[in-house]
Amino acid sequence: MGGRRAGPPDWLRNQRRAYMSSDLIVVADWRPSVPSATSQLMSRLLLDRQLLWVDAAAFRPERAAPRSARTAGMAPTTAAPFPVLSAEDLGGGSHPLARLVSPRLLTRRVERVSRRRGLRHPMLWLASPWAAPMLDGGYAGPVIYQPCAGPPAADAAAARESAALEERILARADLVLPPAREHAAAAARAQTRLLPAGVDLELFSTRAQPARDLPTDGPVAGCHGCFDETFDADLLAAIARRLPDWHFMLLGPVCCDLSMLGHLANVRMAGIRPQDQLPRYLQFWTASLLLRRPAVPPAPVPPLPFLETLAAGLPTVAAGAYRFGGYADLSTCVDDADGAAAALQAAAAEPRERRALRRKRVANDALAARAAVVSRLLGELEAASAPGTAARLWRA
């Protein structure tokens, strides 16, 4: 589900160079099929800046993407609106010899690519603790850090290493943009501004035509996003057995074992859809399901798929540990399959005007508003740092 917006044409990009200040080098995990909140935000900043995305997997010790991203089903559905450098592009691929490529050498290669592409006064936007080696390559310009979820607590060694790398970034960062107050408290040493995820309100709330493969002979409950080890497939199977007249659709790449769903006639794994096609499903589903395994701790912020269902007006039934913040009253939380089945039946009977209420409530989290805030903060950072030429941002 790649980005839906292409970058500006060359003539317009060149025309803007006269007043543009700093471009961006973004180091973050790259998911070509399920655009993250960061990648969607960056697509909105392209009108004012050039951007080079570097997959943070290039800096991981194993030189490989997390398991959730290593799947044959995650080929991009549309081209990214900005250039993306993978581990392989930088000489840090999954081959065993790639371990000999030092992080410092990788950062130098990023520097050369940024020069070749004509990036102007590039600022570093780091959205992964594994991006810390970028600070060892001689970069002397402004650094923005966007904290994200670290490795699972069960992997104690990786969690310790991730925390140490994050401390290095926080000690150097000029601006920290945490998604929740829990992160903000840890980042108090630098200029800190909360930056919750934004949702593409225009995309999901504008009336769409129904997708051709939508079931029409009964209510539909859908799940969309990336299906990994946190997804409770066993619970979905139990719900589907209790509601044989319902259809259940899964949209997105599958990164875990869902074989227990294969024998259920009313469950369909529909695969990946481009981001701009999702409203053709969400707006016509009866309800959305968020199913998290009981042992999985909650993320500190509402998941992006939940915000997207709100923007589409869709009722949500959730099982597992979630933090919905100010939107808790717009979801129905359940403990088991019986509770989920009852909640879905209630959602099928709700008045249509409830959908308009959900869209209205999520309007403050519009992606356009988030991009405007970030543009203002970057402008303030540029003014404070007063960068010189691009050459002076990289020390020899």
Higher pLDDT, 34 or 359: 359
Q: Where are the alpha helices (DSSP H) in the chain?
A: 10-16, 37-45, 103-116, 156-172, 181-186, 201-205, 233-242, 279-282, 304-311, 337-348, 353-361, 367-385
Higher pLDDT, 383 or 221: 221
DSSP one-letter code for 26: E
Confidence of residue 325 (pLDDT cuts 50, 70, 90): confident
What are 282-302's pLDDT values in tens digits?
999 999 999 999 988 888 788
Residues 6+ away with beta carbon under 8 Å from 282: 204, 222, 224, 288, 308, 309, 312, 314
Class of domain 10-198+366-393: alpha beta
Question: If DSSP codes are grouped into helix, strand and coil, which group holds residue 64?
Answer: coil
Model confidence, pTM: 0.83
Residue 114 sits at the vertex; the CA angle it makes with 128 and 146, to the nearest 5 degrees, is: 20
**Least confident among 105-119, 217-231, 309-323, 357-371:** 105-119
What's the CA gap between 28 and 39, in Å, rounded?
A: 9
Structure tokens at 113: 């690519």
pLDDT at 288: 97
Tell me the fold of 201-361: Rossmann fold (3.40.50)
Residue 391 sits at the vertex; the CA angle it makes with 385 and 394, to the nearest 5 degrees, is: 75
pLDDT at 161: 84
Pairing of strands 84-85, 143-145: unpaired
pLDDT at 8: 52
Q: Where in the chain is the domain with CATH 3.40.50.2000?
A: 10-198+366-393, 201-361
Nearest to 380 by CA among 142, 55, 179: 142
What's the CA gap between 340 and 78, in Å, rounded?
A: 35
Cα 250 to chain centroid distance, Å, stands at: 18
What are 170-179's pLDDT values in tens digits?
989 999 999 8
Torsion sign, CA atoms 202, 204, 205, 207: positive
Residues 6+ away with beta carbon under 8 Å from 242: 337, 338, 341
Mean pLDDT of the chain: 82
